[in-house]
Structure 1
């Protein structure tokens, strides 16, 4: 099969499952771009909202009313019908949503997190993936990568997963990590990152072939 693709590949992931690294490997194989935090920069540039605000809200559930009230005293210049009346967290999400669609229009790529599968749910060329792993595997990965104790790593994992789930569930009509809402779910703890990337590559190639029939 060809090492090119016509698909937009979205990757949801549990923290510590290696989703970003797997996404980068898949993108490298197909010769396409991988967008993770780069999505925030694109959304900031397109919307005129400062990048720091996107980073503050990145895959986090809605922030306090007070924070939104304070931030809304500023003018950011990103306007559409009713947009300026929205809480800041909604503005951030809509700007990201718009950036994801624009990037998809530019051609095949890999997008990691940020509800990209939901933003592109009506795109026939979108192939959505969720990567998970058992807690022990994720603890080992995070503890090793960031020099944390097992307890510290576990606390970070639980907090980050809870935040990602709350964010995803709040802004979409789906449940974060629910197998039925993705085209493919992979256990990177059992398979390893390299094998997980290979499985995704094979699945995308099959998906591309099926579109030709």
Structure 2
């Protein structure tokens, strides 16, 4: 694309936020980052990728676990960094990678407080994808081949982790409409329809800013 577009997408579990993000990136001809951030952050920081994944988008974990596993992390050498709990090191590593990716060009970044990390970027467009709970339960139960009861438990646990993580590291509230430029119910328009909605919004917002 000729103009720079930075889109961050927060999402409720089971709302198809990830699929929407990657479809939007495909249509716009730009890169989308989700789990890829873990690999990049591990490479940049030297922190073991399995440790990165364990702490990814999770709230502050037990102090004991951080102290025990901290010896497995590598790469950071400054006293301030070395004295940080492991989960803070993981957040900082992802923070730096998000900044680097956005600086390099147009992209879509899923989760990980990216909208907060890039809050001062004039090209930022922050989006939140949600859907009614029962529809998400039915979707997760079908895609994961589990009961609706287990799907409900998984949804609540995942969303709680994401909310705690976001609320801890940012000065905003996860899933609060005031925290994003646009919130969209993906169950109303399905994946393709929601992508078309987001594309229209991005185009209008870009034209308005210009």
Under TM normalisation by the shorter chain, which class is it?
over 0.9
- 32-41 or 187-196, larger mean C-alpha shift: 187-196
**Aligned with 1:73: secondary structure?**
helix
Following TM superposition, by how much is the alpha carbon of 1:211 offset from its aligned partner in structure 2, in angstroms? 3.0
Of 50, 71, 80 in structure 2, the residue corresponding to residue 73 of structure 1 is 71
| Distance in 2 of aligned mates of 1:4 and 1:139 | 40
- 88-97 or 143-152, larger mean C-alpha shift: 143-152
Following TM superposition, by how much is the alpha carbon of 1:54 offset from its aligned partner in structure 2, in angstroms? 1.0
**Aligned with 1:174: secondary structure?**
coil
| Residues 31-70 of structure 1: pairs in structure 2 closer than 5 A | 31-70=29-68
| Distance in 1 of aligned mates of 2:21 and 2:61 | 29
| Residues 174-189 of structure 1: pairs in structure 2 closer than 5 A | 174-189=172-187
Please give the per-residue CA displacement for 1:88-112, whole angstroms capped at 9, x wherever unaligned: 0000000000000000011001100
Following TM superposition, by how much is the alpha carbon of 1:186 offset from its aligned partner in structure 2, in angstroms? 0.2
Of 169, 172, 175 in structure 1, the residue corresponding to residue 170 of structure 2 is 172
Structure 1 unpaired stretches of 5+: none
| Distance in 2 of aligned mates of 1:154 and 1:45 | 35
Following TM superposition, by how much is the alpha carbon of 1:58 offset from its aligned partner in structure 2, in angstroms? 1.2
**TM-score with structure 1 length normalisation?**
0.95
Q: 2:124 matched to 1:126?
A: yes
Following TM superposition, by how much is the alpha carbon of 1:73 offset from its aligned partner in structure 2, in angstroms? 3.0
**Aligned with 2:60: secondary structure?**
coil
**TM-score with structure 2 length normalisation?**
0.96
Following TM superposition, by how much is the alpha carbon of 1:74 offset from its aligned partner in structure 2, in angstroms? 4.0
| Residues 87-98 of structure 1: pairs in structure 2 closer than 5 A | 87-98=85-96
